[in-house]
Amino acid sequence: MRQIALDTETTGLAVSAGHRVIEIGCIELINRRITGQQWHRYLNPDRLVDPGAMFVHGIRDEFLTDKPRFHEVMDEFLAFLGDSELIIHNAPFDLGFLNHELRLAKYKQTKRLEDKYTITDTLALARTRHVGQKNSLDALCKRYKVDNSHRDLHGALLDAEILAKVYLSMTREQASLLDTENTTTQVEKPTTVRILTNRAPLQVVPPTPEEAAAHQIQLAAIDKASGGRCLFRAVEEAETGEVAVTTQP
């Protein structure tokens, strides 16, 4: 199974305001392992970066002047994606910008990436698991103990790498039945434990009258607190055919 953790940086927050993609970072995972294969490009957006966006990612206009345009690397980018599942944090944001770039590049094979690829939005996934809590990438790093101490600024490749690790931590229980140390699934044979028939019998030590009385008092208290739903008391009554009546001192 091949997956791609993907992140972008942009000149601003809204496609409708004419903002563009300036960085794309992709990290490859195969069978829930980060392989070390990656795809990363900075892009010339043919417009200025908003100061607010520059404060977040630190990418300056002069740095982007000699970088390729999206249409120049589009085929290379799509070839790296292949037919993989895409893992994106807050997917509608990145997909909106990438779909806009594809439209500007006159890409005709598909109108939207989500029409071609299976998308896993880790923000949506986190919101179902951690209702009412912060679910930013930084918050998830803290929650799942993923080291992001080297993340002073946002960066598409760095964030994609962090995202891949967060995703693996978030979904670890989904692969608990698989052997993640091997590329093929191995099922262990059950171990049969045989009990010797000539073993010594277990010694049964009956309670003292004081212990039995204390036990009944405790069951009565539980039965009262649970509105008559004390399971242990019901079992004892079923076994003895008697209804226990206990008077607390």
Coil/strand/helix, residue 242: coil
Residues in the chain, total = 249
Contacts of 9 (CB under 8 A, 6+ apart): 21, 22, 23, 53, 56, 57, 59, 154, 155, 156
Q: Which residues lie below 8 Å from residue 101, measured CB to CB, with a gap of 6+?
A: 20, 21, 70, 71, 74
Is there a catalytic annotation at residue 154? yes
Amino acid in the structure at residue 178: L
Catalytic residue, from 40, 130, 154, 215: name it: 154
How far is Cα 21 from Cα 98, in angstroms, rounded to an integer? Answer: 7
Q: Which positions are annotated as active-site residues? A: 154
